[in-house]
Amino acid sequence: MSSELYKKILIATDGSEPNKKAVLYGIELARLSGAKVNVVYVVDTAAFASIPMDAGWEMMYELLQKEGNEGIQRIVDDAKAAGIDIEGSLLEGHPSHEIIEFSENNDIDVVVLGTLGKGGLDRFLLGSVAEKVTRNSKIPVLVVRGNPKQ
């Protein structure tokens, strides 16, 4: 089955456990509609803007890149196993801005992302990415509630 409404779906992930539900929704939507999927992980370089660039910064940056690439690869592997046409991208910058820009520049028909992701300091640094994307995107956004108990 092929959909005229959804030809390209963007799934935004932060690699967290609560975000898996949004990933599953995005993959299922792609399976049902026959859409191609792009999955993105954004390394939030804006969070490090006020930190002097030293060995600690470089180590944290490399850790986030590794986490992002591993998260993308897991999703790509799962989607391909389900017969979904998928491509992954690691982006850098402010997450909501990068997600919106990617979706607008790649003819995305719907953005899928979760409401709950990272917690603690990560959540403080990131703010509410889902809220910012929903408020500022010209493209429809499917926001999937995570499990708040996780």
How many C-alpha atoms does 138 have within 13 Å on its Cβ side? Answer: 8
Closest CA to 23 of 83, 99, 105, 78: 78
Separation CA 97–CA 106 (nearest Å): 14
Hey, what are 69's tokens?
A: 């690439």
Q: What percent of the chain has pLDDT over 70?
A: 82
**Is pLDDT above 60 for 125?**
no
The phi, psi pair for 36, rounded to 5°, reads -85, 145
Q: Report, as an integer, the average pLDDT of 14-35.
A: 92
Position 76 scores a pLDDT of 96
Q: Where are the domains of the chain?
A: 8-144
Q: Report, as an integer, the average pLDDT of 119-133.
A: 64
pLDDT bracket for residue 150 (50, 70, 90)? very low
pLDDT tens digits for range 26-39: 999 999 999 999 99
Looking at every residue in the chain, the average pLDDT score rounds to 86
Q: What is the pTM of this model?
A: 0.86
Position 19 scores a pLDDT of 87
Q: What angle do CA 92, 95, 96 make, to 5 degrees?
A: 140
pLDDT tens digits for range 56-98: 778 888 888 999 999 999 999 999 998 999 999 999 999 999 9
CATH topology of domain 8-144: Rossmann fold (3.40.50)
